[in-house]
Amino acid sequence: MIIDNLSNANTYFSLHPLFKKAFEYLNTLDLKQLETGSTQLQDDALKVSVIKTKMKTKLEAKLETHQKYIDIQIPIEQKETFGWRSLSNLKDSEKEYDPVNDIEFFNDEPSTYFTLLPGEFAIFFPEDGHAPLIGKGDTKKIIVKIAVNPSI
């Protein structure tokens, strides 16, 4: 997992061949004027979604993992808290991995929590169990999906 400010995104370009393209696209956006919806930047290998949704309590937020995609998550309208726990320590799967939606939920509790402000981001790799959307009220955020294997 990586936590940082969008102004430092270029630090991470070398970690994945599509990180540069993803962050350069994000830099073209006026975050305050974003409409909800999805954009495919490179077939199924790089997708950007802007969602508006209701926040959850710590008890409601489930840890999730993905096998095919890396998540970059960016709050737009307000701070957002996330739970985190290493996949190697997740034992209580809610049900088996769903390959169609690339997600598995867990009933385990996070080992740590952190809060992002608008303009900050978190990168979650397949080994990162993460529980997003912890907070109050409604929020708008960006979720970038980057294929672990860009040839998919």
How do residues 81-119 score in pLDDT, each as one tens digit? 999 999 999 999 999 999 999 999 999 999 999 999 999
> Sorting pLDDT into bands at 50, 70 and 90, what band is 32?
confident
Q: What is the pLDDT of residue 151?
A: 75
What is the C-alpha to C-alpha distance for residues 118 and 9, in angstroms, rounded to an integer?
14
The domain that holds 38 is classified in CATH as: 2.60.120.370
More confident call, 150 vs 45: 45
What is the C-alpha to C-alpha distance for residues 54 and 105, in angstroms, rounded to an integer?
18
> Sorting pLDDT into bands at 50, 70 and 90, what band is 42?
very high
Q: Residue 152: inside a domain, yes or no?
A: no
Q: What is the pLDDT of residue 85?
A: 98
| Closest to 74 measured CA to CA, from 132, 33, 21, 16 | 132
- Residues 21, 17, 77: CA angle, nearest 5 degrees: 45
pTM of the model: 0.95
Q: How many domains does the chain have?
A: 1
**The length of the chain, given as a count of residues:** 152
Contact 89, 114 (CB under 8 A): no
User: Assign residue 124 a region: left if phi > 0, alpha if psi is -120 to 50, beta otherwise?
Assistant: beta
pLDDT score of 71 more than 90: yes
Q: By residue range, what is the domain housing residue 31?
A: 2-147
Q: What is the pLDDT of residue 70?
A: 98
Q: Residue 80: inside a domain, yes or no?
A: yes
